[in-house]
Amino acid sequence: MKRIIFFLIFSLSHSLIVFAQVRVTVQAPSQVEEGQRIRVSYIVNTQDIDDIQVGEFQGFELLFGPSVSSSSSFSIVNGKTSHTSQKTFSYTLLAQKAGTYKLPVATVKSDGKTYKSNQASIQILQGNGSSSGGSLGQQNQSNQSGATRMRTQNAGDRITKDDLYITVTASKRRLYEQEAVLITYKLYTLVSIDQCVGKMPDLDGFHTQEIELPQQKTLKYERVNGKNYGTVVWSQYVLFPQKIGKLVVPAINFEADVVQQERSLDPFDAFFGGGSSLVRVKKTIVAPAVELQVDPLPTRPSNFSGAVGTQFTISGSLTPEQVDANDAVSLRLVVSGVGNMKLMKTPTVQWPKDFESYDPKTTDKSKVGTNGASGNVVYDYTAVPRHGGKYSISPVEFCYFDTNSKSYKTLRTDSFHVAVAKTASHNVRRNVNQEDLTILNSDIRYIKTTKANLKAKGMSFFSSVNYWLGYAGAILLFLSAIAIFYRQAKANANVARRRGKKAGKMASKRLKQAKKLLKQGNSKSFYEEVTRALWGYVGDKLNLPVAELTKDNVGQQLEQRGVSAEAIDRFLKVLSDCEFAQYAPGDPSATMERLYSDASEVINQIEN
């Protein structure tokens, strides 16, 4: 603790404390209604006050005051000590009579000197005859904020179009193509609202830019039809028409949350000051459409930049003014004005023919405002001189349409001059690497050192050797494709043929497996293997898929292949006996011997 105190004393003794000059400021709302209570505060930026005198408040009844409050702060930043303090004198007033009244100037004595407050005035409007309370955005609006309180409806009250609406105004209804027009959406309300949401849709025929407005809206009174409406500019857009004729800015739907008060019927809650809550009711507000008449621009000159507006200027600077060959020079053009800054064309610079130029870099420093985009746009050009000498760059022209005079105006910069020195490195570059140079303004081209590919005049690719070679190659490629296709088809046919040839061998293998099962006495597996051998044989031999292996289909296919009816009947009988023998009574061993013998014989008979 002692170290901290020592550090503070040391800092105070070695730091410069700067005391600001005494100032007295007034905080008060700019508008109030008759019968409304407000607070007016006189703030002095020091507590060292000997005396304060405040005159009478005309138009107001003094209810209470002054109430005095003090505050102070102390901070050390980077070894520098700062100390601030203030004293506030607040008065509670009741607005009595409509009119505009100046608040009395406060006179403060401090350290033997006299200081006076700034002059402020308040407008008192005729009352609506309704109680006030609530506010925009449900903020607890103090008099210091200057916001206007609006009444909070009871829950269930009908919200009419006279309670809440939005007006749309255009700064002009007739304008030229590309000329800026300001569209303003202004909210009028007699009720408390929490928020209001509405957005300009994408417009056909307009380039649209929205003006940034404060997110925290502050209402001001405006008397309309004998009522004091809370008003605020809700949104603003600057439009630049891209077409001519009658263009319409469509109607916009705004969704507002109206704050209403819901009271409880419970007398116990009411006795203790409770029993009420705030509810929000959705209300759709339709901002009407706006029709604009857009006239075409007069006949445009050839050098027209596309800029439409007022107060345009252009300036330029070239750096450096002395440079070696093959070193870059920079030309900066700055176009300033008010209008369609974002839609202008890039100014054209006529560089000498010995200069190699590049596309300019554009930096937009304009900001959208109520008159359109204002500010400046910077164009940075870069060029490289290839030869030594003294060069002049012609003045750069900028032609725009002035909406005030309704005529085209052409602005020009001064001409630019640059001296290019021919250096040793410049000569070496010319002798070593000449192919990177552009053709200059002369009839002599640089000598080409590579081998030339010359041909007689009038010769063409058609009927040349390369033409016929390409033609023959295309034919060979076509014939090769046919041969490959034919070979593939033939191979597919051979697959079926090889499958048929191997059918007998595969059947023999299965019958050998059945013989082993016969010796083991495994009747069930034996019959399955014999059945698989018979069906597998005809499937491979006839090249039939499993789905088509039926007794009727197999009989027809064998008959078409020239197999005798006796062999076909015997083959089908063996198949049926195998299926029946699995469940038939009797000597299984004898039946298995007979079926094995019959299957072997019928397969050999069909194979032969």
Q: Over the range 451-470, which residues count as b (16 or more CB within 10 Å of their CB) and which as e?
A: eeeeeeeeeeeeeeeeeeee
| 451 pLDDT tier (thresholds 50, 70, 90) | low
Contact 90, 65 (CB under 8 A): yes
pLDDT at residue 458 greater than cutoff 70: no
Per-residue pLDDT at 8 exceeds 70: no
At 32-41, the pLDDT tens digits run 888 888 888 8
Contacts for 259-266 with beta carbons within 8 Å, 24 or more apart? 259/134, 259/138, 259/152, 259/153, 259/191, 259/192, 259/193, 259/194, 260/152, 260/153, 260/154, 260/155, 260/156, 260/157, 261/134, 261/152, 261/153, 261/154, 261/155, 262/154, 262/155, 263/154, 263/155
C-alpha 563/C-alpha 399 separation (Å) is 101
Would you place residue 178 in the very low, low, confident or very high pLDDT band (cuts 50, 70, 90)? very high
Residue 144 has pLDDT above 80, yes or no: no
Q: What is the pLDDT of residue 429?
A: 45
pTM over 0.85: no
Q: What is the rounded distance in angstroms from the CA atom of residue 608 to the CA atom of residue 606?
A: 5
Asked if residue 47 lies in contact with residue 85, where contact means CB atoms within 8 angstroms, the answer is yes
Q: What is the DSSP letter of 508?
A: H
Residue 66: asked if its preceding bond is cis (omega within 30°), the reply is yes
3-state DSSP of 128-191: CCCCCCCCHHHCCCCHHHCCCCCECEECCCCCCCCCEEEEEEECCCEEECCCCEEEEEEEEECE
Separation in Å, CA 216 to CA 28, 137, 196: 19, 8, 12
- What DSSP string describes 403-457? TTTTEEEEEEPPPEEEEEE--HHHHHHHHH--TTSPP-SSS-PPPP-SPP----T
Burial of 294 (0-12, 13-18, 19+ CB in 10 A): buried
State the pLDDT confidence band at 430, using cuts at 50, 70 and 90. very low
Q: What is the pLDDT of residue 392?
A: 92
Selection from 116-120, 299-303, 452-456 with the highest mean pLDDT: 299-303
pLDDT reported for residue 428: 42
Residues 288-341: tens digit of each pLDDT: 999 999 999 999 999 999 999 999 999 999 999 999 988 999 999 999 999 988
Alpha-carbon distance 3 to 276, whole Å? 56
More confident residue, 590 or 3: 590
pLDDT in tens, 520-529: 888 778 888 8
Lowest mean pLDDT among 120-124, 406-410, 441-445, 548-552: 441-445
DSSP state string for 267-302:
HHHHHTT--EEEEEEEEEEEEPPEEEEEEPPSPPPT
